[in-house]
Structure 1
Amino acid sequence: MALHFLVESSTDTRVGDLVSLTGAEAKHAAVVRRLRVGEAVTVGDGAGVWLEGTAEEVSPTRVDVRVSERTEQAALRPRVVLVQALAKGDRDELAVQAACELGVDEIVPWQAARSVSRWEGPKAVKGRERWATIVREAAKQAHRAWLPEVAAPVTTKQLARRAASDRVLLLDPTAPAKLSEIVPDGRDLVLVVGPEGGISDEELRLLTDAGAERVLLGDTVLRTSTAGPAAIAVLSVALGRW
């Protein structure tokens, strides 16, 4: 399979044009991926434009690709959103990486009551940037035409307001209904994953009162790093994506 890279924008690029990778992307292509002149590559802008071409010049500072084919992929609807509670260590980052590879459309950091990790002030900006970097690299690895958005961190009250327009699904090991039994109704599907300590009773009450649904993923209790990606796989089947 051809190597895949991202550029900031390719809206006006046509067949026959040259697309140039610069900066960190060029260095990654030439030094890390060891791209060579004449190799087939794909290039995307993360917003649906998909270009196929051949590398004509390769250096650590600039990689030129001659475009041989251009397609545009529409964004999938309804969208699958992962609300991932902040977790200790790198467990939330592992969830973000896998969720992107599996096709999530948006990722929302959640400052849950039982989150050990706290994003406050400059740390919130740095954390969101870190997640965005993970998403970008995972999207390239997975050859995704659309780059998932990493939203600003939300509180539980802010998350509850989302239930007014979206279908919010709370992963809860005590829920009476199975996630696999959910029938999509056209609304965006928002999966909410708690931290290692789980979603608190107060959070469950607040979110369910706002219209969120408690759903069971399986008979076992998964870690916060695996619950979201597993649920995305289930919904991908229900939506006909897989």
Structure 2
Amino acid sequence: MIPLRALPRAFVQIPNLNPTQPIPLPEEEFKKFRSVLRLSSGDEVALLPGDGSVIRATLDGKLAIPSDVQHPQTESPIEITLALGLPKPDSLEDSVRMASELGVAHIILFTARRSVVKWEPAKLDKKLQRLQTIAREACEVAYRTKLPTFQVLPELKTVLEQAQNPYVLSESDRAETPFPQITKPTTLVVGPEGGWDPIETKLIINPITLGPRVLRVSTAVATACALALSNR
């Protein structure tokens, strides 16, 4: 029998999904299995409902016939939230992809004072859908069983007011505290290219650093998330 984590997999979020009955595949997932992965009836797949479970199933036309349900422990017991001041588009997509693979539970996006990118309200839904697709694909690759949630907030001040146990990455001279040991739900706050504006710097009580070098946004995100989620 092929190990569950070695099977082709996809998130299939269907209301009232019953893992003991044949599952109708949504069109997008059906096309992925057939056209992208070149699978056919009789091939086994792993379906991810997004609730922490994994369903082993066999393709039968546009149906998936379940044979087993498991609950692998691939999600971190400590919820990590990434709050990211909007960077440039490529860096944003890379950051979302790597944070999702590494296991963050929530992603908050906000406009920092030095953010080059400003999201227009009319295009917000479309941009979020794009990022959610990137996150879903990253979670499938990483064998995660839950998807990160997304939230958009207006500014750093709002983020810090709502954040659980926030740690703000900073390259200012007063950021001398090294990355801490994470033992409880935590929000990692990363700024855009150019760092924090002086007005924002005044809001940061205990800035932390990843070292003396200046990192790209996506590198800082990946490093911070990896340190926070290592061995979890």
Task: State the TM-score, normalized to the length of structure 1.
Answer: 0.85
CA contact (8 A) 1:95 1:229 kept: yes
Please name the residue that 2:95 is paired with.
Answer: 95
For residues 86-112 of structure 1, give each alpha carbon's deviation from its aligned partner in whole angstroms, at most 9, with x where no partner exists.
112411111001110111111111100
3-state SS of paired residue (2:177):
coil
Matched residue of 2:25: which SS?
strand
- 1:104-115 to structure 2, matched below 5 A, reads 104-115=104-115
Q: CA RMSD in A?
A: 1.9
User: What does residue 192 of structure 1 align with?
Assistant: 189
1:54 to 58, 64, 89: 58
Distance 1:82 1:162 in 2: 13
CA distance in 1, matches of 2:152, 2:170: 24
Is it true that 1:4 corresponds to 2:9 in the alignment?
yes
Cα distance in 1, alignment partners of residues 195 and 19 from structure 2: 50
The answer on whether the counterparts of 2:171 and 2:195 sit within 8 Å (CA) in structure 1 is no
Q: Deviations over 1:66-86 (max 9, x none)?
A: 211112467643211111121
Give the Cα separation in 2 of the matches to 1:190 and 1:178: 16
Contact 1:52 1:68 (8 Å CA) reproduced? yes
Amino acid at match of 1:126: K
Equivalent position SS for 2:145:
coil
Supply the distance in 2 between the matched residues of 1:143 and 1:31 (Cα, whole angstroms).
21
Which secondary structure state, in structure 2, belongs to the residue aligned with residue 215 of structure 1? strand
Output the CA distance in 2 between the equivalents of 1:141 and 1:148: 14
Deviations 1:3-32 (A, max 9, x none): 0111123755234x3222121121121111
8 Å CA contact 1:124, 1:153 repeated in 2 = no
Q: Secondary structure at the match of 1:14?
A: coil
Are residues 148 and 89 of structure 1, via their aligned partners in 2, closer, same or farther at CA, if it must alter by over 3 Å?
closer
Match of 2:37 in 1: 33
TM-aligned CA deviation for residue 118 of structure 1? 0.1
Using the aligned pairs only, state the percent identity.
Answer: 30
The aligned counterpart of 2:152 is: 152
SS of 1:191's partner is strand
Q: Distance in 1 between matches of 2:87 and 2:36?
A: 30
Partner SS for 1:13: coil
1:47 deviation in Å?
A: 2.2
Quick one: which amino acid aligns to residue 106 of structure 1?
A: H
For 2:65, what is the secondary structure of its paired residue?
Answer: strand
The 8 Å contact of residues 10 and 45 in structure 1, kept in 2 or not, is answered as: no
Partner of 2:130: 130
Letter in 1 for 2:66: V
Comparing 27-36 with 67-76, greater Cα deviation is found at 67-76
Separation in 2 of the partners of 1:204 and 1:39?
55
Report the Cα offset of residue 122 of structure 1: 0.9
Unmatched segments (≥5 aa) in structure 2: 1-5
- 1:199-222: CA deviations, max 9, x gaps? 1221121132xxxx3111123211
| Correspondence 1:178 to 2:195 | no
Instruction: Determine if the alignment matches structure 1 residue 232 to structure 2 residue 225.
Output: yes
For residues 185 and 67 of structure 1, the distance between their equivalents in structure 2, rounded to whole angstroms, comes to 37
Give me the whole-angstrom Cα distance separating, in 2, the residues matched to 1:205 and 1:126. Answer: 33
CA-to-aligned-CA distance 1:35-58 (integer Å, 9 cap, x gap): 12222211011121221122222x
2:33 and 2:107 mapped to 1: Cα distance? 27
Q: CA distance change for structure 1 residues 66 and 21 in 2, over 3 Å: closer, same or farther?
A: same
